[in-house]
Amino acid sequence: MICIPLGAVAAITILCFAVLMIMSTGKIKQFKDENGKIIRNSIAEKSFVKINGVKMGMIIKSKDTSNPVLLFVHGGPGMPEYFLTEDYPTGLEDYFTVVWWDQKGAGLSYSSDIDKNTITTNQYIDDTIAMTNYLRERFGQDKIYLMAQSWGSYFGIQAVQKAPQLYNAYIAVAQVTYQDESERLAYKYMLDYYSKAGDDKTLEKLKENDCLSDGYYKMRDDIMHRSGIGTTHDMKSVVTGVFFASLKNREYTFTEKINIWRGKLLLNKNIQLKMKADLRKIVIKLDVPTYFFSGAYDYTVNYKMTEEYLKQIEAPIKGFYLFENSAHSPIFEEPDKVAQIVNSDILKKTNDLADIK
């Protein structure tokens, strides 16, 4: 009686592994014209380079390499986002040479040999600047654009503050301000949400685990996504929306997919990467055009705090853009609006479409 179900489980496991291997070719999808030929001057590659002595990986996508370079600094810590473009295409490669860089210890840049003591916010700031200089030299551009999301914005904005001469503009998606305060507002929001939803079980769990407690953080991702304030407003499960998405993306090898989650585990536990500083007291001036994108449903990083923060920042040009149908990832949720802002404002160094200037 026991052998039959165990055999079935083994067969299903083997089948799932075989399917996963088939879906893990690791080949980057090229840009092709209507005749199936690779578009001239386009680029679609996975590459590795040593940055500050550490091998780091990136995926570069562009329909025209003469376009300005955009360095994307992902969230997390340790959560590369390129694989989400399969379900949520951004279209950014139409206007930029987009570099989806995996930070030290994350995804393509994961290594078990990395000294954990060298994984610090200050190191990430220096890595961002070093990666920027590598891209400037490789693509022959004096300046590039930097787009940072969530955790990436915590040190990305500090990198731009430190070396403004390297950047055409700073674009933040879900800009961090003071994360402890943001978490308290999210906690309050979810208490109200689950109370109105009549979900007594989740509500009781929330009340049993104070905001910022270990118990709260263990259930945080799940309850945020179920309440529509997580990665995207319509993504109700981080398992199906993020974990499964990383496994099905064919542009990663099997090992690279595993390393995404090994890196996430490594960096999430690193106390040196906790966003404890209040950026409102650290970065109050940027010498480049500065643009903030926020989703109206974003409580992962509170959008109202982001809005108020931009009002405080001194910059030559600045704009806050609220995405009414988005949560934490406007570039994935409302790409058409992002494209409009890029074309009308960012590339022209204006802020005509901004909700707040």
Domain at 50, CATH number: 3.40.50.1820
Through-space distance between the first and last CA atoms of the chain, rounded to whole angstroms: 70
pLDDT tens-digit series, residues 277-304: 999 999 999 999 999 999 999 999 999 9
The runs of H, that is alpha helices, within the chain are 3-22, 121-139, 151-162, 179-196, 200-208, 214-226, 238, 244-248, 254-268, 303-312, 330-333, 335-341
Instruction: Specify the number of domains making up the chain.
Output: 1
Mean of pLDDT values over 267-275:
87
For residue 115, is pLDDT > 90? no
CB of 315 within 8 A of CB of 287?
A: yes
Q: Does 25 fall in a domain?
A: no
Q: Does 168 fall in a domain?
A: yes
Q: Does 29 fall in a domain?
A: no
Which of these, 84, 101, 25, lies nearest to 253 by C-alpha position? 25
Structure token pair of residue 21: 């291997």
- The pLDDT of residue 37: 94
Percent of the chain at pLDDT exceeding 90: 85
Cα 240-246-252 angle, rounded to 5 deg: 160
For residue 174, is pLDDT > 60? yes
Q: Does 152 fall in a domain?
A: yes
For residue 10, is pLDDT > 90? no
Q: Does 78 fall in a domain?
A: yes
For residue 8, is pLDDT > 60? no
Mean of pLDDT values over 252-261:
93
- The pLDDT of residue 116: 85
Quote the CA–CA distance of 230 and 243 in Å, as a whole number.
Answer: 14
pLDDT tens-digit series, residues 314-347: 999 999 999 999 999 999 999 999 999 999 999 9
For residue 20, is pLDDT > 80? no
For residue 151, is pLDDT > 70? yes
- The pLDDT of residue 1: 43
Assign 269 a pLDDT band (cuts: 50, 70, 90): confident
Mean of pLDDT values over 247-267:
92
pTM of the model: 0.94
Q: Say which residue the tokens 């206007």 belong to.
A: 95
Assign 24 a pLDDT band (cuts: 50, 70, 90): confident
Q: Say which residue the tokens 């909700």 belong to.
A: 355
Q: Does 174 fall in a domain?
A: yes
For residue 110, is pLDDT > 70? yes
- The pLDDT of residue 2: 46
Task: Give the chain's radius of gyration (CA, Å).
Answer: 21
Assign 12 a pLDDT band (cuts: 50, 70, 90): low
pLDDT mean across residues, the chain: 93
Range(s) of the domain holding residue 295: 43-179+273-346
For residue 17, is pLDDT > 80? no
Long-range contacts of 139-143 (CB under 8 A, 24+ apart): 139/65, 139/69, 139/97, 141/68, 141/69, 143/167, 143/168
Percent of the chain at pLDDT exceeding 70: 94
Assign 131 a pLDDT band (cuts: 50, 70, 90): very high
- The pLDDT of residue 4: 54
> Do strands 97-101 and 144-149 pair parallel, antiparallel, or not at all (unpaired)?
unpaired
pLDDT tens-digit series, residues 187-226: 999 999 999 999 999 999 999 999 999 999 999 999 999 9
What is the per-residue burial (b if ≥16 Cβ within 10 Å, else e) of 251-262? bbbbebbebbbb
Q: Does 268 fall in a domain?
A: no
- The pLDDT of residue 207: 94
Q: Does 258 fall in a domain?
A: no
